[in-house]
Amino acid sequence: MFSGGTAVFSQELFVSTEPASNMPARSIAAKLNTEFVQPGSDNIQVRLSPEIQLGLHKNLMLHTATGFSDMYSSGLRWESVRLYAQYRFLSKDDVQKHFRMAAFAKAAYSRSNSPFDEINLGGDQSGIQGGIIATHLLHKLALSTTLSLLQSLDEKPEALIEAPSNSALGYTFSAGYLLLPRIYKNYKQTNFNIYAELTGQQSLDKKQSFIDLAPAVQFIFNSRSKLSIGYRFQLSGSMNRMAETAWMISFDTLFLNALKK
């Protein structure tokens, strides 16, 4: 896979977070993300999120996505829409290693009006988010960290005595390692990557927080298509959340030079 004329090693394609490296310029990607949660002893609930990603420039990309779920209803229904933009402002590249930084912003609308304190712009709440990403690639190991501010724009559900948290500090730390192939011969080889990602939030208007660990595996085919399977579970926390565990499966494929100059 290439970005701006330089190789992007696949272990940097994190499962739960975005790296500071953008997708290739003038490319389009289509993605379907599926999340499964089981709140308490209830039945398993699902969220489907189709997404279109645009590489407008080597330093700028846009994502737009919508969501369908049964997490706040008795059956699957349309739930949300969101827009994500990322601008890479720093690149220090060398052979098989680089350091990059990017700024990002996200806006989301959800009809669900979540009663939970966790701010999740992937479908639970309407809101905005902005932050900074730093990613370091060292041959087969990729490390990345994110720091952001999240603001919920939901109104307080009338049935609640206490309003949920409406602002939080978000942070992540991600590590990815390329296991296979051991030696790169060409970009048609199937890649197998493993990941461990820490994600957390600290409420700014309440004394509540959580930290999750999300291990995952990933297969990349022909440097164009990606299958990711991950599991998230809470390490510690005091925040009111829909579920402390979740399974995630996603598949996306990339179309190079799909946009005109």
* CA separation for the pair 261, 211 (Å, rounded): 43
Query: Who wins on pLDDT, 199 or 42?
Result: 199
Angle at 82 between CA 80 and CA 83, to 5 degrees: 170
Q: What percentage of the chain reaches a pLDDT higher than 90?
A: 76
pLDDT of residue 6 exceeding 60 = no
Residue 153: burial class (beta carbons within 10 Å; 0-12, 13-18, 19+): middle
Q: Which amino acid is at 47?
A: R
What pLDDT sits at residue 40? 75
Please, what is the average pLDDT of the chain?
A: 91
Per-residue pLDDT band for 157 (boundaries 50, 70, 90) equals low
What pLDDT sits at residue 36? 97
pLDDT single digits (tens) 25-82 = 999 999 999 999 988 767 899 999 999 999 999 999 999 999 999 999 989 999 999 9
Per-residue pLDDT band for 223 (boundaries 50, 70, 90) equals confident
Query: Who wins on pLDDT, 100 or 94?
Result: 100
Per-residue pLDDT band for 155 (boundaries 50, 70, 90) equals confident
Q: Which amino acid is at 76?
A: L
Per-residue pLDDT band for 2 (boundaries 50, 70, 90) equals very low
**CA 40 from centre of chain:** 24
Residue 188: burial class (beta carbons within 10 Å; 0-12, 13-18, 19+): exposed
Give one DSSP letter per residue of 169-205, joined into a string: EEEEEEEEEEEE-SS---TTSPEEEEEEEEEEEEESS
Contact present, 212 and 200 (Cβ < 8 Å): yes
Q: Which amino acid is at 2?
A: F
Per-residue pLDDT band for 159 (boundaries 50, 70, 90) equals low
pLDDT single digits (tens) 95-107 = 888 999 999 999 9
What pLDDT sits at residue 113? 83
pLDDT single digits (tens) 116-145 = 999 999 999 999 999 999 999 998 999 999
* CA separation for the pair 132, 169 (Å, rounded): 12
